[in-house]
Structure 1
């Protein structure tokens, strides 16, 4: 008997402990950790509401990115009609909705009858709507039928690499914002301007329509739909960029038509040092290859003869640009056997316009004996070594960068190579270890065109509150240590003009444009081959125009291509002609 009582007591104790544990767990779930449960900090209240509601997202609350005229680049709003599924069992005004939207009543009925979640009718579905049409829809006062402005991403993404993209990255989000409790599913900026301005673009709250449902998705409390929105007059903000949508589309079209697979183009407004257009190939595909995620206009690559501008500038500064000097341009870059291109005896100016490698071998080896660090110091003075994108302090964000992915340039990987005449000659013509970004080349052209004053490149003009008032305006900023003296700039301007005006210059094809172009071509050997064994090159053309009153600096690079298919000149021509 005593043993039975003992067993009963033991069972009661176990049951009591179990009930206490269960009670503690329920208390944790329902009282103490309802808004931040588990290691992932799940909001249990929100999740329980989601289980018994259906909703349609009107706006995710994230700030938007617009071009210099205010046209949306990331996401805009479209007049739309929202139809909730429960109306299929009601006598709703489908005929009137069809008349206002311009859509077939049969198609609308079909969409609603098959819907398991709210149906949104907008321009992409064939609904031609205006703001006044939305007013007419809402005047029906029929539950489940609403006219609203719905956030829409552009069907064709323009400036995709510079705008960037967002992604769900909970680990990164926690590191980036340790003091914020962000939902696990919240997308944050992963690249481009979305990443650079992420702290400003983060949503405060969503705008949505929702209603409570039972297990069969029927309304629980009648057919009343709630409209939930943030009433703030300040958020979300807009990032007003310097980009021009028309110029951006022109640039992207030129690259696509020319069939450039890897490379791109950069267009800069010379006077303000503002980015007008930037496009990179291959096109951005978040779910595609890693190469499509790279903005090659911010990546370092071999520039080839574009780098001769640096050697020419150093020669001018050190008095080696003698007009009477002649160079045997039938020789190869190292003064040996004949070059493939037989250019004859050329002056300094002609050597530049016709891109004679041998001349720059002679000059570089003379210069390095006279000034051992001339290449890196001159390249730095011309803005090719350090990042050139706008950076500074914005409110409490120090070191804020408008181009977060921008790489640095390099001239020498090993300073011991300065003792090798062959390595010096290769470096002087943009080979060996020379790596620069297309953005820095474009900015160098702008610096030369504006008279030698180096400026940081801006791609964002200001941050605007929701009501249009400016939160912050990015000032024009000079580039530290980037400046070319007046005499050298004048000589460089003459040389760059000669590349096009010289009947044997490498830019002669641009003489047919309705304005004069100044620039420089470049062909860099990459040391790689394609599947058929052809040598792969980086083909460049960089310049500015009109020569007598410069407005635009433009750089085009066709990377990892073969000589017979290189299309950099064609793209440069098409973009310049389209700008007029």
Structure 2
């Protein structure tokens, strides 16, 4: 064999080897990724050939597939669309499974999960049509509706937790959207709806309870500052703090004022418990500087700031700044400057205090059921952290009860019941009304629900709003929906 023919033979052999290697790579190594790409039309059509599992709340479907007389065979529908959209997410032929439970548990709902392998074999043997698993959520329909109705037409979010287990009892985000528009089989109509929703300046596709740009937590963060003080062993609820009308901030000519413009106590002094009760800015600003940024940052992290949580959707980590000068530290101690939090994180702080210092991991899915509705998996409550001692939790509980009994959170009172809470009014940008907050729990002596409410830009009251006036009544209705049962 002459040299040219030999070289051609080597090249052809190399090409055959490359072809075999690439086909092997595609068929075996990359097959799963290619199959699960959102734009894979063949996979999407195959997924519509079988019934997708339902999503249940209180025994009723908030997402269900119904037979359709078209190419797709099954139509995904959302009976209580907007109220549950941040929880369910959407299932769309064009845009896939997204944002909520639909995206997080797509493999179970579609029936493709490895955990359903043996049940798929049984379906093949028995000739029964394949179907996805059904998910039973922790959400309480009465609590969800109370939160939805109480928030009204205001932008914001509500989260309610069972402090003893971490089960999410309500998750509301407004403005919301109708996932039926994205699940429609009229694809041009779906594309138009997506364009409208994704360019809406109010961001209805964003679940404000767990994602988005996050919010300054305002005075709700004073719970963490108070916790850091009590945990240090250097302070008690009776400890005296500097509480002038305005706090001189070092390194600057700027001062930190109280909203009232007055001293919080005689001679510009106040104790820790009363300072929390009336939400004294200067007392907590001075306390933050006295504690130092390391203690504040450490306490915030113990509660979950900077840590990743999934419910199963990923919760955007809340933020406590990495480095601070003294004026920034004073502002951070009252939940301003660059401190940012999700309503979920704020609810987790209250839930930890309610639960004696033990913070539970929040979760949305209670049970996974097969096509016969037999339970094949359940979520066991798990401890997330122990950010504070039982003694500190008891002291904070008592201090938060004072906030509701006669302080800034009086509108959260429930007749005949002890309620604990903390208000917040957070400045966001010059010329904009403040975001207003309430977080707390009830009954304070045997907590069954912890809640966080945020209303953007003061809601319907705009510049006249405060956490005690706008957010506290919303939280009251949510807590009543739990404790009245």
Question: Deviation above 6 Å: which 4+ runs of structure 1?
Answer: 40-43
State the alpha-carbon separation in 2 of the partners of residues 337 and 162 from structure 1: 39
Q: For 1:230-379, what aligned pairs fall within 5 Å after superposition?
A: 231-232=127-128, 235-256=131-152, 259-260=153-154, 262-285=155-178, 286=194, 287-288=196-197, 289=200, 291-299=203-211, 300-318=214-232, 319-321=234-236, 323=238, 325-332=240-247, 334=249, 336=255, 339-341=258-260, 342=262, 343-345=264-266, 346-368=270-292, 372-379=293-300
SS in 1 for 2:404: helix
Shift in Å, 1:439: 0.5
Aligned-partner Cα distance in 2 for 1:496–1:72: 38
Offset, 1:493:
1.1
* Residue among 472, 480, 484 paired with 1:577: 480
Whether 2:97 is the aligned partner of 1:192: answer no
**In structure 2, what is the Cα distance between the partners aligned to 1:389 and 1:160?**
18
> 1:465-480 alignment to 2 at 5 Å?
465-479=370-384
- Give the CA RMSD over aligned residues: 3.2
**Aligned pair partner of 1:497 in 383, 401, 418:** 401
Give how far 1:445 is off: 1.0
Larger Rg: 1
Which residue in 2 is equivalent to 1:10? none
Task: Answer whether contact 2:401 2:420 (CA < 8 A) is retained.
Answer: yes
**Among residues 289, 313, 317, which one is paired with 1:403 in the alignment?**
313
Contact 2:138 2:168 (C-alpha < 8 Å) held by counterparts: yes
Q: Is the 8 A contact 1:380 1:482 kept in 2?
A: no
Spell out, residue by residue over 1:451-474, the C-alpha distance to the aligned partner (whole angstroms, 9 max, x if none). Answer: 111211010012110011222222
> Once the 2 structures are TM-superposed, how far is the Cα of residue 322 of structure 1 from its aligned partner?
6.5
- Partner residue of 1:429 out of 334, 338, 350: 334
CA deviations on 1:81-101 (whole Å, 9 max, x unpaired) are x9x9xxxxxxxxxxxxxxxxx
Match of 2:463 among 563, 575, 578: 563
Q: Give the aligned partner of residue 451 of structure 2.
A: 554
1:525-560: CA deviation from partner (whole Å, max 9, x where unpaired): 11143xxxxx32110000000111110001110023
Native 8 Å contact 2:50 2:129 kept in 1: no
Q: Aligned-pair distance for 1:60?
A: 5.8
TM-score, structure 1 as length reference: 0.62
The 1:233/1:448 distance shift into structure 2, 3 A limit, reads: farther
Is 1:387 equivalent to 2:312 in the alignment?
Answer: no
Deviation at 1:410, TM superposition (A): 1.1
Q: Contact 1:334/1:361 (CA < 8 Å) preserved in 2?
A: no
Between the aligned partners of 1:272 and 1:155, the Cα distance in structure 2 is 26
Structure 1, unpaired ranges of 5+:
1-35, 48-57, 85-116, 119-148, 170-186, 205-229, 391-401, 530-534
CA distance in 1, matches of 2:287, 2:177: 42
Q: Deviations over 1:388-447 (max 9, x none)?
A: 444xxxxxxxxxxx123x10011114x1x2xx2211100101111101111111111111
Question: Equivalent residue for 2:343?
Answer: 438
TM-score, normalised to structure 2's length? 0.73
CA offset digits 1:157-195 (Å, max 9, x no partner) = 4311111112235xxxxxxxxxxxxxxxxx631111111
Q: Would the aligned equivalents of 1:353 and 1:506 in 2 still touch at CA under 8 Å? A: yes
For residues 495 and 266 of structure 1, do their structure 2 counterparts lie closer, same or farther at Cα, with a shift above 3 Å needed?
A: same
* Structure 1 segment 444-463 matched on structure 2, within 5 A: 444-463=349-368
Runs of 5+ in structure 2 lacking a partner? 1-34, 113-125, 179-193
* Structure 2 Cα separation of the partners of residues 42 and 304 of structure 1: 47
Query: Secondary structure in 2 aligned to 1:75?
Result: strand
Partner residue in 2 for 1:159: 84
Say how many residue pairs are matched.
393
Structure 2 residue aligned with 1:72, among 61, 72, 80?
61
What is the CA-CA distance between 1:233 and the residue it aligns to? Answer: 7.2
Counterpart CA distance in 2 for 1:337 and 1:550 is 35
In the alignment, which of 529, 532, 538 is matched to residue 435 of structure 2?
A: 538
Kept in 2, the 8 Å contact 1:233–1:467? The answer is no
TM superposition shift of 1:510: 2.7
The alpha carbon displacement at 1:364 in A equals: 1.2
> Residue in 2 aligned with 1:522?
424
Counterpart Cα distance in 1 of 2:439 and 2:238 = 25
User: Cα distance, 1:272 vs. partner?
Assistant: 1.8
CA distance in 1 between counterparts of 2:338 and 2:331 reads 9
Tell me the SS of whatever aligns to 2:428: strand
C-alpha distance in 1 between matches for 2:361 and 2:337:
28
Over 3 Å counting, the alpha-carbon distance change for 1:380 and 1:234 in structure 2 is farther
Structure-2 residue corresponding to 1:88:
none
Shift of 1:523: 1.0
Cα distance change, pair 166–507 in 1 and its aligned pair in 2 (3 A):
same
Q: C-alpha separation between the residues in 1 aligned to 2:59 and 2:241? A: 55
